Amino acid sequence: MKLITVAGPPSSGKTSVIIKLIECMGLPKGSVGVVKFDCLNSFDNLRYKEADIPIQTGFSGKICPDHYFVSNIDDAVQWGMKLGFQMLITESAGLCNRCSPYINGIFSICVIDNLSGANTPRKIGPLLKLADVVAVTKGDIVSQAEREVFAFNIKQVNASAKVIFVNGITGQGSFILSKYLQQARDIQTLRDMKLRFTTPAAVCSYCTGETRIGESHQMGMMKKMEFKEL
């Protein structure tokens, strides 16, 4: 089974891109499954069901979404293998722009949209920096110049990535994206494979449910901000 990881900021168009991509690949119905990692709630399962795509949704809830992803991804692979999928696509939101649910050797796509501001690519971290392909959505409503500036800013942080403009509504661009997926390799398990980047550090008192504010309640891994005299 081939595994593809798709990540990107909320509402950037991940689900639309994935649905168009699956349409484009022309694999038999039901042979491409999706696992959606979300935080609290998600309505994308309805869209996948509408498109007849097998879908499984998991909510990280109070756990860091990245930690949740990495502790469940191999189970997702086993689920996909059991159902006999030819391809499994995972979808997860890079909520703090620091996440990167990418695994060494596993094909990864970052989805970001053209409306998110010209400098956004320079602010997103490993989520963008470590992706193999960057799919840019909503390019049909901004000017050619803004698309080009946006692509330039993506190249600034991820020089080796391929930048593909995908229209999540008409599917324009998803064909060439699907061609890239042919490079994805077959796997049976992810055991002992490695994430491309560490997940956000955690385990402070707030991770374990502390709600009170103040130095005496802060324990564990903390990072304090430096306030300079102006």
Q: Does 202 bind other proteins (CB under 8 A)?
A: no
Measured distance CA(38)–CA(21) in Å, rounded: 20
Q: Does 164 bind other proteins (CB under 8 A)?
A: yes
The least CB distance from residue 216 to other proteins, in Å, is 25
Q: 30, 46, 104, 140: which one contacts other proteins (CB under 8 A)?
A: 140
Q: Does 159 bind other proteins (CB under 8 A)?
A: yes
Q: How far is CA 118 from CA 77, 104, 114, 115, 150, in A?
A: 36, 29, 8, 8, 6
Q: 47, 95, 146, 207: which one contacts other proteins (CB under 8 A)?
A: 146
**Closer of 22 and 55 to other proteins (Cβ):** 22
Measured distance CA(156)–CA(59) in Å, rounded: 33
8 A C-beta contact, residue 44 and residue 79: no
**How wide is the angle at C-alpha 16 spanned by C-alphas 15 and 18, nearest 5°?**
65
Q: Which stretch binds other proteins (CB under 8 A): 47-55, 89-97, 136-144, 208-216?
A: 136-144
Q: Does 129 bind other proteins (CB under 8 A)?
A: yes
Give 56's strand partners: 35
Q: Is 185 helix (H, G, I), strand (E, B) or coil?
A: coil
The least CB distance from residue 19 to other proteins, in Å, is 16
Q: Does 211 bind other proteins (CB under 8 A)?
A: no
Q: Does 105 bind other proteins (CB under 8 A)?
A: no
Give 164's strand partners: 135
Give the other-Cβ count within 10 Å of 59's Cβ. Answer: 15
Measured distance CA(32)–CA(98) in Å, rounded: 28
Q: Does 176 bind other proteins (CB under 8 A)?
A: yes
Binding site for other proteins (CB under 8 A): 114-115, 117-118, 122, 125-126, 129-130, 140-146, 148-149, 151-153, 155-157, 159-160, 162-165, 170, 172-173, 175-176, 179-180, 196-198
